[in-house]
Amino acid sequence: MRLRNKQWAKPLILAHPEMILVRPEKMQGHWQSRFDQSRPLYLEVGSGKGQFIVEMAKTHPDRNFIALELQEAAVAMILKKQVALKLPNLQLVLGDGADLTDYFSEGEIDGLFLNFSDPWPKTRHEKRRLTYRDFLRQYQAIMKPDALL
């Protein structure tokens, strides 16, 4: 998903530094400290505008959720929802999911969501797909043995 640049995105993000993490590598192994309570931890890679992850956080208050998104405009759209709802079990991350092992320790994630990822249909771009074998190995490394993808 490619979003147009939103003039209001950067000021909104800067106004709420407590709700958005921009240096996720510092949280490796300590993600539960970002939440009020220690609960099962779920990650969505490529959260887009946040409809799915926000609904999951509202529906499942007994779980903690992390929304990882690369585009600043998309994160700002999720942030608008988070500011309005103030979900204590949702953490936003502005970052690249290229190497999730830099952000998460082995076996730290209870579940991982990949919804409507960019398909990268050309063969020469297959390494960019979130379902490419190198990404799948990363997911396996950060997820618990009984975790769901």
Residue positions annotated with a catalytic role: 118
Give the Cα separation of 60 and 46 in Å (integer).
20
Written as one string, the DSSP assignment of 54-79 is: HHHHHH-TTSEEEEEES-HHHHHHHH
Give the Cα separation of 5 and 128 in Å (integer).
23
